[in-house]
Structure 1
Amino acid sequence: MDRLDNNAHSVFSLYYHLVMVTKYRRKVFDSKISDRAKNIFEYICPKYNITLLEWNHDMDHVHILFKSHPNSEISKFINAYKSASSRLIKKEF
Structure 2
Amino acid sequence: MRTFLGVAYDLGYHVVWCPKYRRPVLGGRVKDRLEELIRARADEHGWEIVALEVMPEHVHLFVKAHPKNSPSYVAGQFKGFTSHHLRAEFGHLRSQLPYFVATVGAVSDETVQRYIDTQEERRSRGGGRA
Q: What TM-score do you get using the length of structure 2 for normalisation? A: 0.59
Distance 1:27 1:42, change over 3 A: same
Structure 1 residue ranges (4+ consecutive) displaced by more than 3 angstroms after TM superposition: 46-49
The residue number in structure 1 matching 2:79 is 82
Q: Structure 2 CA distance, aligned partners of 1:21 and 1:75?
A: 16
Structure number with higher strand proportion: 1
Q: What TM-score do you get using the length of structure 1 for normalisation? A: 0.79
CA RMSD in angstroms, aligned pairs only:
1.9
Percent identity of equivalent pairs? 24
Q: Which of the numbers 50, 53, 58 marks the counterpart of 2:55?
A: 58
* Contiguous gaps of at least 5 residues in structure 2: 91-130
* Contiguous gaps of at least 5 residues in structure 1: none
Q: Structure 1 CA distance, aligned partners of 2:65 and 2:37?
A: 17
* Cα displacement (A) at 1:67: 0.2
Distance 1:47 1:73, change over 3 A: farther
The residue number in structure 2 matching 1:10 is 7
Kindly indicate whether residue 82 of structure 2 is the aligned counterpart of residue 70 of structure 1: no
Q: Structure 2 CA distance, aligned partners of 1:8 and 1:89?
A: 36
* Cα displacement (A) at 1:15: 0.8
Question: Number of residue pairs matched?
Answer: 90
Q: Structure 2 CA distance, aligned partners of 1:54 and 1:10?
A: 25
